[in-house]
Amino acid sequence: MMVDDRAGRPATSSGSEGHVLSTPTLLGDRYQLGEVIGSGGMADVYLAKDQLLGREVAVKVLRDPEPDPTDRARFMSEARTLAGLNHPHLVTLLDAGTSADRPFLVMELVRGTNLGEATRRGGPVPPQRMAEVGAQVAEALAYVHEAGVVHRDVKPGNVLLREDRRVLLADFGIARLVNDTAHHTRVGTTIGSPAYFSPEQVQGLTVTPASDVYSLGLVLLEALTGERAYGGTPTEAAMARLNRNPEIPSTLPAGWVTLLQAMTDPEPTRRPDAQHVLERLRALAGGDDAAATQLANATQVAGATQMMTSVPPAAARPEPTTSVPRAEEPAQKRKRPYWAIAVGIVLVAAVIVALVLLGDRGATVPDVPDDVPSQLRDPLQDLHDSVEEAGQ
């Protein structure tokens, strides 16, 4: 979907990009495929020629000649999602079809690069330019959220930077309607990019528009600093945010610090919505750091993210009237690191199960730790009580 003209090669560098088909393939009797210019988990994107209109386009094709039903369903879900969206900061879907039983999407060809490549090549992005870029992404997110869609994979590689400085949000392959009950994910798999997951995505909780706001916060922070907030393996990156908040340098302008703290708040309902993020980024892009800070504080006082109707309300908690240093929050919210809680849960469960199997009536059943998450406490407590009764 994107070609980097400055480098004379595809804008991304994974998968089978750069490969030229030995025998050019015509899809739908119309689209002549050329080289691969992008690759994802299940599909390749080709530079192609629309034979009917004589223009270059990007064609996304499922890689597997006999696609898995789950992949096919997810692919077609992307087509339907894009078909219902029309915004200047979204990649435009032009056509869709099936050829030799393989579905394909035809999208506008974007010439330029993506935010990830731009940062790798040029280093940190200046705050004012990053505010311009971020505002356009936030505008796209505000639009899709209003349409009832959650992107779920906001990352630098999906932020496309056109040569005319227009920014586009791409790849709705795992997007989901807020009230959609259909799940196009294989059991036991995780979709998305762990480095940019929200805490609720890591925990397998409901993903909402606030999740996209969190991911965008990490994207903005990475572009401003040139470093990922959560590095390491995918698992390490995903779990790290359950132990600590991202480190936001105090050397950034005050408006940026306040905004990024709000966007990456661990509590989804305390994050600003995409529209508020857009307003604050526009203020920063205009060089008005004080106005951006005032907007940030006003948003915090006004309340939480404007959530979709399907999102359950969170427990009431007092709203701060001033920005509180985020470094203090992990210690206040967690007495023990997440991994320690997890180990405690496993050990308690293991001992309880062992007592059940061995029938040791004289043994003492360990108590369930106080800081076990609420959704796990009740089942463990029931098991604990049952074993105690059996041993009496």
Q: pLDDT tens digit string along 127-143?
A: 999 999 999 999 999 99
| Residue numbers annotated as active site | 153
User: What distance in Å separates the CA atoms of residue 321 and residue 94, rounded to the nearest whole number?
Assistant: 47
Handedness of CA 279, 283, 289, 291 (dihedral sign): negative
Nearest to 70 by CA among 186, 172, 174: 186
**In this structure, are residues 127 and 256 in contact, taking their beta carbons and an 8 Å threshold?**
yes
Helix segments in the chain, DSSP class H:
69-83, 115-122, 127-146, 199-202, 209-225, 234-240, 254-263, 274-285, 289-302, 329-333, 338-358, 374-391
pLDDT on residue 100: 82
Q: Tokens 């997951």 label which residue?
A: 197
Q: Report the distance separating Cα 312 and Cα 207, nearest Å.
A: 11
**One-letter amino acid of 334:** R
Integer Cα distance of 221 and 384 in angstroms? 45
Answer yes or no: CATH 1.10.1740.10 is held by domain 114-329: no
pLDDT score, position 41: 73
CA atoms of 318 and 210, how far apart (whole Å): 19
Contacts of 67 (CB under 8 A, 6+ apart): 42, 75, 102, 103
195: which residues sit within 8 A by CB, 6+ positions away?
Answer: 155, 218, 228, 230, 231, 234, 237, 238
Class of domain 2-108: alpha beta
Residue 208 is predicted with a pLDDT of 95
The sign of the CA dihedral 98, 104, 105, 110 is negative
The number of helices, as runs of H, and strands, as runs of E, in the chain is 12, 13
* Both structure tokens of 111: 């010439």
- pLDDT value of position 192: 60
Dist. CA 88–CA 206, nearest whole Å: 29
Q: What is the pLDDT of residues 143-182, one digit of tens each?
A: 999 999 999 999 999 999 999 999 999 987 656 665 444 4
Give the C-alpha separation, 387 to 382, whole Å.
9
Scanning 208-308, the segments in alpha helix (DSSP H) are 209-225, 234-240, 254-263, 274-285, 289-302
Residue 158 · residue 308 · CB < 8 Å: no
Residue count of the chain: 392
The predicted structure's pLDDT at residue 252: 97
Q: In 342-356, which positions are buried (b, 16+ CB within 10 angstroms) versus exposed (e)?
A: bebbeebbebbeebe
From the first residue on, what is the mean pLDDT of each consecutive set of 10 residues in the chain (392 residues)? Answer: 52 44 73 91 90 96 80 83 92 91 91 95 97 99 96 94 95 61 42 85 93 98 96 87 93 97 97 98 87 59 43 38 43 44 46 43 53 51 51 48
Nearby residues of 8 by Cβ (< 8 Å), 6 or more positions away: none
Tell me the C-alpha distance between 168 and 158, whole Å. 8
